[in-house]
A and B are shown apart, each in its own frame.
Chain A
Amino acid sequence: DQQVKQNSPSLSVQEGRISILNCDYTNSMFDYFLWYKKYPAEGPTFLISISSIKDKNEDGRFTVFLNKSAKHLSLHIVPSQPGDSAVYFCAASGRIQTGANNLFFGTGTRLTVIP
């Protein structure tokens, strides 16, 4: 049973506009959330993270919002650039089970930014 879900497999956005990628999770024990970006034939690259004690974290063009009551987070990219075209993975972790900090990933959303 998937604990982290990205329901949109793909998203296309015009260059300069805002990209919004969504992620939902089911496990209320998760307390740390991350976004990774992945280009073809490369490993996931860490992009931005947020702790459950915050509801927003901003880093340049990237902002992550966390809504704990809805168990939902989103990644906003503004303005979007063609180089942002990649697969974006949402991931979550927490002190669950044995306390291992392994990450639970969503299936990814492929973002295409159209020039």
Chain B
Amino acid sequence: EAGVTQFPSHSVIEKGQTVTLRCDPISGHDNLYWYRRVMGKEIKFLLHFVKESKQDESGMPNNRFLAERTGGTYSTLKVQPAELEDSGVYFCASGSTGSGNTIYFGEGSWLTVV
């Protein structure tokens, strides 16, 4: 069974540009999460989808970040326009309703804004 997959694995963009990160959750998982880790700090929650609906987006830093999950399958996280402080690793995770609070992470998308 395929795990959570993320694309791209690495991205270097200039300040002011746009980047779109994609996440494909484990098949059948209704819950999809985006997390971010800035260098050396804790992994921080961004938002949570249940199927195509945003259950909780309290962790989104500002309105430059837009997440979508059309159709309740894969999700995208767009940063527009990117700022230097957006650099970090963006993790996607998914979980099924029956697995308690255990969620499974992808390998992350490393974003560097220069």
Contact = CB atoms under 8 A, between A and B. Distances in A.
Interface of A: 2, 4, 32, 34, 36, 41-46, 49, 51, 89, 91, 93, 97-98, 100-108
Interface of B: 4, 6, 31, 33, 35, 40-45, 48, 55-56, 58-59, 91, 93, 95, 100-108
Contacts, number: 68
A2 to B, nearest CB: 7
27 contacts: A4-B42, A32-B100, A34-B102, A41-B107, A42-B108, A43-B4, A43-B6, A43-B91, A43-B105, A43-B106, A44-B43, A44-B105, A46-B102, A46-B104, A49-B101, A51-B100, A89-B43, A98-B58, A101-B31, A101-B101, A102-B56, A103-B35, A103-B43, A105-B35, A105-B42, A105-B43, A108-B42
B55 to A, nearest CB: 5
A98 B59 CA distance: 12
A34 B106 CA distance: 17
